[in-house]
Amino acid sequence: MPTLRAVPPETRYATSGDARIAYQVVGEGPVDLLFVPSFLSNIELGWEHASIAAFSNRLARFSRLILFDRRGNGMSDGLAGESTLEEQVDDVRAVLDAAGAREAAILAINEGARLALLFAASHPESVRALVLAAPVPRLVRGPGYEWALSPEEREARIGELVASWGRDVPGNAWVAMGGDDPELHAAMTRYQRLASGPNGAAATLLRAAETDVRGVLGSIQCPTLVMRRSGDEEIDVRHSRCVVEGIPGARFVEVGGEGQVWVGDPEEPGREIEAFLTGSPPRAASERVLATVMFTDIVGSTALASELGDGRWRELLGRHDAIVREEVERHRGRVVKSLGDGALSLFDGPSRAIGCALALRGRLGAISLPIRAGLHTGECELLADGDVGGMAVHIGARIAALAEPDEVLASRTVRDLSIGSPFTMDDRGEHELKGVAEPWRIYAAGS
């Protein structure tokens, strides 16, 4: 996951009729890529949300990424729920013109795919390609769409969303898009509260339920990629299949993980999008090695950041990053990347990784930053851009997610390869790791 930006890019405004549409440009890649959000966005607040920021940074590695808030949403003018798709098509045109993008690729999320599809069909000369992530061309049941929610069920679902707005409760469908990570849920609820009011969002969704863009699918002339995460339980896969079947030559791909494509590790969806838009994948792995991965993250970082305020939080996070770098280097490791409130590091020996994790627990705990850590040893792909991939990384992340505050957990492989070291390894039993076929025995490391 790329390092998160400390400062968001400059927000500018494009003029569309009487409205001013907020937009940002980040990255210097050869592809102009316009990101069309769903019903909820705030382009400045998004840089404070770890998953949104990481996904945007991944896209900006190969593109000139153009972000904007749709009319009546986020930082743009207008009243939520009162603008038509046709008006928003004009807004897209205005943003592209203001950003100097003559021919852009468009990436759209969920309900935002309807705006992207209408714009691509209306302005084919301006769209070089479409990437539609879990697209929803129609929100309610209708002829040929009998499996979707009825209008009454949809209205009830929106009522549940309004009643649960900004809270981590089962009726909040926006939060459910983030999978089952409690810390991500906290970040999602904060983003929801600050990005829009509940009544405005409800008005937008109620109006969206009236629109059906299936009729334009056959008019799409540009290359189109439809994608979703295989573990997305909130958006029915049949929405995506409908779009794939309707657009000539459209490709469909599922990537691993839960929730939306912008949630969690952005590398796999980012790779697919990059390969599709640039015509060739990123460089292949340059080397495979046996290594120990270490994931660390700050416990309760979202609540702590809210309590301290932006200035004090940035200062404390800077101290965290410096301590992590010092200890990783002291234990002959390498910090692969920052994860916003944590890090992924790589070591050439499991004992050094254990020692580093325990040292970090002590030093960071001394400045009131409790952490958890997960370790696993396995074959890793060392990528040409300095990143690391492979199943070992996935397993390490899953083990870290099991850890309690101030706990360092490790796989049996780490334990077996570190026998004879000065560290204790207490058996924590077998655990199911999501995305991993068999149960893994986990150990808690101590000194």
The reply to whether 3 falls in a domain is no
**Which pLDDT does position 83 carry in this prediction?**
75
Same domain, 112 and 161: yes
CB 65 within 8 A of CB 52: no
Phi-psi region of 332 (alpha: psi -120 to 50; beta: other; left: phi over 0): left
Instruction: Please state, in angstroms and rounded to a whole number, the distance separating the CA atoms of residues 321 and 318.
Output: 5
| Global pTM value | 0.62
The reply to whether 1 falls in a domain is no
Backbone φ, ψ for residue 443 (5° rounding):
-130, 145
Three-class secondary structure of residue 239 per DSSP? helix
Three-class secondary structure of residue 355 per DSSP? helix
Average of per-residue pLDDT values in the chain: 87
**Which pLDDT does position 287 carry in this prediction?**
62
The reply to whether 42 falls in a domain is yes
Same domain, 105 and 185: yes
CB 374 within 8 A of CB 402: yes
Same domain, 245 and 313: no
Same domain, 159 and 117: yes
- Residue 97, exposed/middle/buried by CB under 10 A (0-12, 13-18, 19+)? middle
Same domain, 309 and 253: no
CB 419 within 8 A of CB 432: no
Same domain, 300 and 270: no
Q: In terms of Cα–Cα distance, which of 267, 340, 298 is closest to 53? A: 340
CATH number at residue 382: 3.30.70.1230
Instruction: Please state, in angstroms and rounded to a whole number, the distance separating the CA atoms of residues 410 and 115.
Output: 46
Query: Which DSSP symbol is given to 148?
Result: S
Same domain, 228 and 329: no
**Which pLDDT does position 35 carry in this prediction?**
98
Q: In terms of Cα–Cα distance, which of 352, 376, 353, 384 is closest to 288? A: 384
- Provide the b/e sequence for 160-192 (b: ≥16 CB within 10 Å): ebbebbbebeeebebbbbbbebebbbbbbbbbb
Instruction: Please state, in angstroms and rounded to a whole number, the distance separating the CA atoms of residues 268 and 265.
Output: 7
Instruction: Please state, in angstroms and rounded to a whole number, the distance separating the CA atoms of residues 194 and 174.
Output: 13
**Which pLDDT does position 187 carry in this prediction?**
81
Q: Of 229, 250, 278, which closes a domain?
A: 278
**Which pLDDT does position 40 carry in this prediction?**
84
Instruction: Please state, in angstroms and rounded to a whole number, the distance separating the CA atoms of residues 129 and 103.
Output: 9
Query: Which DSSP symbol is given to 219?
Result: G
The reply to whether 305 falls in a domain is yes
For residue 137 the two structure tokens come to 């061309």
CB 40 within 8 A of CB 195: yes
User: How many domains in the chain?
Assistant: 2
CB 227 within 8 A of CB 121: no
CATH number at residue 230: 3.40.50.1820
**Which pLDDT does position 96 carry in this prediction?**
97
**Which pLDDT does position 179 carry in this prediction?**
62
Backbone φ, ψ for residue 105 (5° rounding):
-85, 150
Residue 318: domain span? 287-446
Q: Of 278, 310, 329, which closes a domain?
A: 278
Same domain, 339 and 408: yes
Place of tokens 């969704």: 205
Same domain, 132 and 42: yes
Same domain, 258 and 380: no
CA 318, 323, 324, 330: dihedral to nearest 10 degrees? 150
The H or E element containing residue 426 is strand 424-431
Instruction: Please state, in angstroms and rounded to a whole number, the distance separating the CA atoms of residues 394 and 396.
Output: 5
Query: Which DSSP symbol is given to 186?
Result: H
The H or E element containing residue 427 is strand 424-431
Same domain, 272 and 302: no
CA distance between the termini of the chain: 30
Three-class secondary structure of residue 48 per DSSP? helix
Q: Of 245, 278, 311, which closes a domain?
A: 278
Is the sign of the CA dihedral 134, 136, 137, 143 positive or negative? Answer: positive
The reply to whether 69 falls in a domain is yes
Same domain, 301 and 272: no
The Cα-based distances of 376 to 46, 192, 291, 392 in angstroms read 31, 35, 8, 7
Low-confidence ranges of the chain (pLDDT < 70): 1-7, 80-81, 177-180, 280-288
At a CB cut-off of 8 Å and minimum separation 6, what does 28 contact? 64
Q: In the chain, what's the furthest Cα-to-Cα distance?
A: 72
pLDDT in tens, 161-182: 888 888 888 878 777 766 667 7
Strand ranges, E, within 341-406:
342-347, 371-382, 388-389
**Which pLDDT does position 6 carry in this prediction?**
46
The reply to whether 301 falls in a domain is yes
The reply to whether 2 falls in a domain is no
The reply to whether 6 falls in a domain is no
Query: Judging by DSSP bridges, how do beta strands 371-382 and 408-411 pair with one another?
Result: parallel
